[in-house]
Amino acid sequence: MRDENFYPPYVPVAQRRAQAEKKLQQLRTKQPGITPVIITGHHLATTWWGKSWNSNLERYADYSNRIGRGRSYVRHRAVLDLQLKSGRITALVQGSEAQPYRVAITVATLSAHHWATIRTACTGCFDSLSELLAGSFPQALKELFFAKGAGLFPAPRDIHFDCSCPDWASMRKHVAAALYGVGARFDHDPALFFTLRGIALDDLITTTVADTTQALLRKAEGQRTHVLDDSNLGEVFGIPLDDLPKPRPTQPSTRAMPATPRQKARAGKTRVPIAQQRAAQHHRTPPPRTVRPTTAARPVAALTRSPGTMPAALIKALGKTRRGKSFEQLQDRLGWTKIQLRNAISRVGAKGVVELVSPGVYRQRV
């Protein structure tokens, strides 16, 4: 026989979903800002961040036998509200009672040691924020992020939770439903993962892109030193290049034609350029020709030739100050997004015009 004191009566799936929908409509009239978790497909998560969050919870023995109890709850839209902040998750989960249960979960933020390791490993691995949030980065970086107990994802010791339901179990099904709801929420906004773990996502992107740009500039400078002149070649190979005979220029093999009397007459005269002839007629010396500097000799002039371009605007915003300007100062002055400013710095830095003074501070190279 079923003991009603210990086991509540079975409620069909359709009835549970209808009860959750009814309660959701009631809550929306009083709390318009609530955000329920709605699973539409067959999978609880579809992106790399959402799947990795769920897999991280399921691979620990502390949760493996209990976390699955919340799958049916989150599938049947029992998570009526889910809010994520730095180190904290709050949720309303509809259970067997008329009123939803309140779930509070604290997640420890990432330690400074782990964060420094992650930032170092990320240098040069991606060029934009969209690549990181889409999970399109090298497999080695994914393994580092997912490292058990040492990556970006929390271990059981980092998670503490509480629920208002009368269940005595430590991992209640309402808590499990909220944790699965977090994985589904990462599908829609992966940046929430970094918010939850207390990670400065903009600082990560700015630092790694700046380090990549400086590495490219150092590589370009190193390539110049690899070009050996004649004296270095002579010392390396032991060959006195100055004593070698100079090769004679090859002339096209054309058959010589006999000169005509008119050609012989012209050969005896010295030809004067037309410009000098005209100057002599006007009793003045022709003005000297002005040689314009080449584009390669003046990269700044080449980049600022078109005032409407982003590189020209960036160089103008940097000015001639030796102390440089911070990333925030440039963004405020130009009114660009962070991604636009990072791309412009990378493009201009590759030309050798901009250099990094200190982390997040740039100046025009003199």
Q: Rounded to whole angstroms, what are the CA distances from 60 to 73, 148, 161, 171?
A: 21, 9, 16, 13
Over residues 16-38, the pLDDT tens digits come to 677 777 788 888 788 888 899 98
Ranges of beta strands (E only) in the chain are: 79-85, 88-93, 101-107, 159-163, 325-326, 354-358, 361-364
- pLDDT attached to residue 51: 94
Question: Is residue 200 scored above 90 in pLDDT?
Answer: no
Q: pLDDT-based confidence at 216, cuts 50/70/90?
A: very low
The architecture that CATH gives domain 207-224+297-364 is Orthogonal Bundle (1.10)
* Residues across the chain: 366
Instruction: Encode pLDDT of 122-165 as tens digits.
Output: 877 766 677 788 888 888 888 888 888 888 999 989 999 999 98
Q: Which one is predicted more confidently, 339 or 222?
A: 339
Mean pLDDT score of the chain: 75
> Is 335 exposed, middle or buried (CB count within 10 Å of its CB: 0-12, 13-18, 19+)?
exposed
Helix (H, G, I), strand (E, B) or coil at 102: strand
Domain ranges of the chain: 13-111+155-199, 207-224+297-364
